[in-house]
Amino acid sequence: MVTPAAKREAVAHLQTTLGMSERRACAVVGADRTSMRYRSCRTDDGDLRSRLRELAQQRRRFGYRRLHILLRRDGITINRKKTQRLYREEGLTVHRRKGRRRAVGARAPAPVLALPNQRWSLDFVHDQLVTERRFRVINIVDDVTR
């Protein structure tokens, strides 16, 4: 158990099933007693969540940053990190686009070259002299005779 909420549930379970005191149950679980009585003072974000869902439906390719700007334009003053948290909790993440489709099937084998001058290949090579002057050379090669 890592989160305070999980420890709270474990302490409540020990108190109801075994009749332990809160002090003893906290000692067994390893929880702080002050965290057992904690009540969240976070406000209800139902209106904000619904507005965020509406904007995400209208603009499907927008992430939380651009939706945050739209919320600010609507007059809703909110921290960007809170927008990010609500966006993630609502499951509004933008789906990644799929990659380029690859060709299906086997490639045709390269044609067998028998005679010179049927196919040529070229390549650019570049280098630098000691004087830091650069130069490029084009290499043209006959694929049969090399």
Lowest mean pLDDT among 10-14, 28-32, 77-81, 114-118: 114-118
Number of domains in the chain: 2
Residue 142 inside a domain? The answer is no
Q: What is the pLDDT of residue 100?
A: 83
Which residues are CB-neighbours of 115 under 8 A, at least 6 positions away? 144
Q: Are 70 and 52 within 8 A, CB to CB? A: no
Range of the domain at 62: 46-89
Per residue in 11-21, pLDDT (tens digit) is 999 999 999 99
Residue 68 inside a domain? The answer is yes
Q: Which residue's structure tokens are 């005779």?
A: 145
What percentage of the chain reaches a pLDDT higher than 90? 61
Task: Say whether pTM exceeds 0.75.
Answer: no
CA distance 47 to 121: 66
Q: Are 104 and 98 within 8 A, CB to CB? A: no
Per residue in 38-86, pLDDT (tens digit) is 888 888 888 999 999 999 999 888 999 999 999 999 999 999 999 999 9
Residue 131 inside a domain? The answer is no
Residue 127 inside a domain? The answer is no
